[in-house]
Amino acid sequence: MIAAVLIQIGEAIPSTPGELIAASSGPTKVVLAVLVVLSLVSWALMAAKAREFKRAERAGRHFIDEFERAHTLDEAAEISRRLPPSPHRAVMQRAIRFVSETTPAIAPSGERRPRLSASQVEALRLVLDSESGAVRDGLGRFVPTLATIGSVSPLIGLLGTVLGIIESFIGIATKGSGNIGAVAPGVAEALIATAAALAVAIPAVFGYNIFAHRLNRFDGELDGFGSELIALMVREGRI
């Protein structure tokens, strides 16, 4: 008698995750398919952003190494023209464009060259901050998508869990009993949906936090570079 019950239970309950997914209900399969799509999107985004950040960091270090050798704004401009694109290069070129388009408010006297006034220096600082923000926004494009996936995936998994529990109650009502053979399939669907949602959400949240930290570090580096650029102009006598 016991052996017959065990055989019946073994036939009713799939033994592997693949069998559980194959035997799950249509709504649960839809939930799992959505989670698979979100997982592929999040991993593709993380791979693309990792390459982009790596290129930007390498180019930025190279630019800073060359910029530290410059003694005048003209030398820095020449370095900017011959080096490949980088976040620091974009800020540098914006500063050069501002200086070339701005007439110094303080006239030359004796051996002193024309100089920018305090209000013009403040305007330059605002322009550099604006360019730094634009560069940061460009690097951070699609990073919030990882946060969205990380927050939405558990809710989608919860939906799958609820659908699995409903399937369990339907099994109880259909078979007229609450034995494990009636309840197990629905509970298994609920657990698979929950596990799939966590498998999607956890890497996405990790990826978002890592890239957000790197963006904040870039923001600080660009602010520091703007200050170094203004200090270079002070040493040269342009301010």
Of 49, 222, 76, residue with least CA distance to 146: 49
Q: So what's the pLDDT on residue 6?
A: 37
For residue 103, being part of any structural domain is answered with no
The DSSP annotation for 146-199 comes to HHHHHHHHHHHHHHHHHHHHHHHHHHHHHHTS-SHHHHHHHHHHHHHHHHHHHH
Q: So what's the pLDDT on residue 4?
A: 40
For residue 112, being part of any structural domain is answered with no
For residue 199, being part of any structural domain is answered with yes
For residue 210, being part of any structural domain is answered with yes
For residue 183, being part of any structural domain is answered with yes
For residue 234, what are the CA distances in angstroms to 110, 114, 132, 167, 169?
18, 12, 21, 73, 76
* Structural domain boundaries enclosing 36: 23-53+118-228
Split into its structural domains, the chain has a count of 1
Of 138, 131, 148, 135, residue with least CA distance to 95: 131
For residue 145, being part of any structural domain is answered with yes
Q: So what's the pLDDT on residue 90?
A: 92
For residue 202, being part of any structural domain is answered with yes
For residue 199, what are the CA distances in angstroms to 15, 44, 111, 154?
21, 15, 68, 9
For residue 101, being part of any structural domain is answered with no
Per-residue pLDDT tens digits of the chain, which is 239 residues long: 334 433 444 444 555 656 666 666 677 788 889 999 999 999 999 999 999 999 999 999 999 999 988 888 889 999 989 888 899 999 999 999 999 888 888 877 767 778 888 899 999 999 999 999 999 999 999 999 999 999 999 999 998 888 878 777 776 777 665 566 656 666 777 788 888 999 999 999 999 999 999 999 998 999 999 999 999 998 888 88
Q: So what's the pLDDT on residue 108?
A: 77
